[in-house]
Amino acid sequence: MSDVTTLEIPVKNSKPVKIEIPFSKYAHIPVIYIIAKGMKDAGLLENYLELGVSKGSCFNVVAPLAKHAFAVDVNKELRRNIEHNKNLFWFRGNSTKFLQTTQFKFDMIFIDARHTFKNGMRDFEAAIRTMNPNCLILMHDTYPPTPEFVSDSYCGNVHRAATYIRKNMIDRFEVLTLPFYYGLTIIRNSLGKQCLFKRETT
Ligand X SMILES: C[S@@+](CC[C@H](N)C(=O)[O-])C[C@H]1O[C@@H](n2cnc3c(N)ncnc32)[C@H](O)[C@@H]1O
Looking at beta carbons only, is 87 or 192 nearer to ligand X?
87
- Where helices occur in the chain by DSSP H, the ranges are 28-41, 59-62, 95-101, 117-128, 159-168
Query: At a CB cut-off of 8 Å and minimum separation 6, what does 116 contact?
Result: 156, 157, 158
Looking at beta carbons only, is 50 or 107 nearer to ligand X?
50
Looking at beta carbons only, is 152 or 170 nearer to ligand X?
152
Q: What is the spatial distance between Cα 202 and Cα 187, in angstroms, rounded to a whole number?
A: 21
Torsion sign, CA atoms 159, 69, 76, 127: negative
Alpha-carbon distances of 142 from 101, 154, 159, 160, rounded to whole Å: 26, 11, 4, 7
3-state SS class at 81:
helix
Q: Shortest Cβ distance from residue 165 to ligand X (Å)?
A: 19
Looking at beta carbons only, is 75 or 190 nearer to ligand X?
75
Q: Shortest Cβ distance from residue 78 to ligand X (Å)?
A: 6
Q: Shortest Cβ distance from residue 68 to ligand X (Å)?
A: 18
List interacting residues with ligand X (CB under 6 A).
50-54, 57-58, 72-75, 78, 94-95, 112-114, 119
Q: Shortest Cβ distance from residue 125 to ligand X (Å)?
A: 14
Q: Which residue is nearest to ligand X (CB)?
A: 52
Q: Shortest Cβ distance from residue 154 to ligand X (Å)?
A: 10
- Nearest one of 159, 130, 126, 129 to 142, comparing CA atoms: 159
Looking at beta carbons only, is 128 or 195 nearer to ligand X?
128
Buried b (16+ CB within 10 A) or exposed e, 142-175: bbbbeeebbeeebbbbbbbbbeebbeeeeeebeb
Looking at beta carbons only, is 90 or 164 nearer to ligand X?
90
Q: Shortest Cβ distance from residue 200 to ligand X (Å)?
A: 34
